[in-house]
Structure 1
């Protein structure tokens, strides 16, 4: 993606990937599967004939069979956190569900002259069918049958990932002997992660909006 960087729009994160492995990856083959850089780690672990820790959840998936041309299945759902535009850094503001893309917050991007656009919150979300409008210029009519069919599925997908983050983002390591290594719980700090950070706040806020 060459435009709309640091935003959740397709131009901000859609990037083609080239994979080469003589004798393993078939040549001159194009795949349109939805994949993620989060898939790199579990794929490398699999190719090394190793195993992921059994009691941890990983957002990425082993895509070796996709690379080898033996499987045509990627992610059904991808989540797009804010990376510097509207809202708070890291908050989930858009998600992709197959060919549908839902936006809960848009705007706030910085222009070339340094000015920042107006931030806009969408309740219910904007939903685009990327199969028909890859440019994300024409969202579905919120009164249409298609919108009402896909909206509850998208809402549930967002609730599921927020719940997953809120309950899994806990470390059992003992850092008490090294103060410099103690994880902080300051939600204003980008590298701080603990049970009291903004994921639980996001989950409560979103549930209230649905109610």
Structure 2
């Protein structure tokens, strides 16, 4: 890392604040809200969560000045369903974004499916409260015009509509499968229009960061919401980084990309301080799911979820529990840790309350207002009686308090603990004391197994399970004739 960059990040010490009392006064005006959402970044990939190979001085500063959440979960081990939850405050099974017959669990280019415009997004909630809403980065909730961010509550969108590995070259290798032969060059979009085809992925983090800083500067005098889903580390085996970071880390391309993400975060925090709006801005930094990890689970070349168990793309704790830091000077107590369970579904209800708005009442919203946890209120506890781990349509695990139960299964396509032909017996882990989920204590706690099996049955009735529709599921949207997003098909001329 360049000395100047490191110096700028370490300079954050000048702004470190002492921990605040738990009864912090509510903000006098609507706070700005920023969510930085990394892609496939693992629990153990940054220094505040234990990394010894990736240098993250800006995130170290953010943790010193903010609050770490060590039991913060997403709702899926993969991109699309996880992103549906952060937008809607719901399980992806609730809004039909957990699976479809064309793409499986992750939307591919030119999919006819997308997030239903009838859903209420966090951007729409905030826009009603007078917020300027912007999204910079990876969308992945539908690349067709009715599903794009500008149709889901965002005033401004700059980024790519799906994952960084969904390139034209990959599509050509797929051929007829998933309509790969028609996949376009990886597009960068400005609002609804493709402005660049075949983007240089090495420049994505740098480009996105510059655009994010511009958005903050342009909207510093009004309340704004910036959703900043980064493209990196991404879905390729060798992530991308700009010249300033490529080849500079001790952890190969994965480390290069993370150290540039760290720099990016420092740029955002520094700009807020420079503009004098840091004390009225809440910043949340997290990831969409755990890292896929290398074949050798002890390697860090494709990220690590250690000390948690398992890979991304599964229902392992390492796939669902993600590194999370909350920063809001003089509101969020500095240098503190929250060990209570919270999730990305909580952002919509929490942001609604912070903005002076209301949570939608005409539909089920699964998330909760977690202001007490964020602000470090004394004795604040998780609002979850039960939390569910789905793999597409299949319910695989339930958590309550420290207990996580993997339910017995006859069949499954992928499982972090059961082997093929096994799975007839429940697995119970205390994920607080048994960090790596190594000790099955189901036999010692039959009453807890019974309680969690009852919660699992409630989830099945509500959200569904394999070959069993739930009573309260809503549908994704679908268009009849999807077209690839290209310079020609999206032209406004």
Shift of 1:132: 3.4
C-alpha deviations, 1:79-138, integer Å up to 9, x for none? 1112xxxxxx3422111111111113588369xxxxxx9435533411112233221112
Matched, 1:108 2:414: yes
Where 2:479 maps in the other structure, the secondary structure is helix
Gaps in structure 2 of 5+ consecutive residues: 1-42, 44-303, 306-310, 464-469, 481-493
For the 8 Å contact 1:103–1:125, the answer to whether it is kept is: yes
TM-score by length of 2: 0.30
Q: Which residue of 1 aligns with 2:386?
A: 77
User: Hey, what's the Cα distance between the residues in 1 that align with 2:390 and 2:367?
Assistant: 15
Q: Which residue of 1 aligns with 2:396?
A: 93
For the 8 Å contact 2:426–2:442, the answer to whether it is kept is: no
Flag the 1:99–1:109 CA change in 2: closer, same or farther, 3 A.
closer
Matched, 1:180 2:180: no
For the 8 Å contact 1:107–1:118, the answer to whether it is kept is: no
User: Hey, what's the Cα distance between the residues in 2 that align with 1:141 and 1:156?
Assistant: 15
Matched, 1:130 2:422: no
C-alpha deviations, 1:2-38, integer Å up to 9, x for none? 2411122222222121111122111111110101111
User: Hey, what's the Cα distance between the residues in 2 that align with 1:66 and 1:35?
Assistant: 8
C-alpha deviations, 1:125-169, integer Å up to 9, x for none? 111122332211120152x3x2x1111110111111221221111
Choose which of 8, 11, 14 in structure 1 pairs with 2:315: 8
TM-score by length of 1: 0.66
Flag the 1:138–1:62 CA change in 2: closer, same or farther, 3 A.
same
Matched, 1:46 2:353: yes
Choose which of 456, 467, 471 in structure 2 pairs with 1:167: 471
Larger radius of gyration: 2
User: Hey, what's the Cα distance between the residues in 1 that align with 2:331 and 2:347?
Assistant: 17
Runs of 4+ in 1 over 6 A off after TM superposition: none
Structure with more relative contact order (C-alpha pairs < 8 Å, separation 6 or more): 2
User: Hey, what's the Cα distance between the residues in 2 that align with 1:125 and 1:163?
Assistant: 20
Q: Which residue of 1 aligns with 2:102?
A: none
Flag the 1:170–1:18 CA change in 2: closer, same or farther, 3 A.
closer
Matches within 5 A, 1:45-64: 45-64=352-371
Where 1:22 maps in the other structure, the secondary structure is coil
Task: Work out the number of aligned pairs and report it.
Answer: 160
Gaps in structure 1 of 5+ consecutive residues: 83-88, 111-116, 182-211
CA RMSD of aligned residues (A): 2.6
Flag the 1:121–1:57 CA change in 2: closer, same or farther, 3 A.
farther
Q: Which residue of 2 aligns with 1:205?
A: none
Q: Which residue of 1 aligns with 2:451?
A: 153
C-alpha deviations, 1:147-205, integer Å up to 9, x for none? x111111011111122122111146xxx9xxx837xxxxxxxxxxxxxxxxxxxxxxxx
User: Hey, what's the Cα distance between the residues in 1 that align with 2:376 and 2:325?
Assistant: 14
For the 8 Å contact 1:103–1:122, the answer to whether it is kept is: no
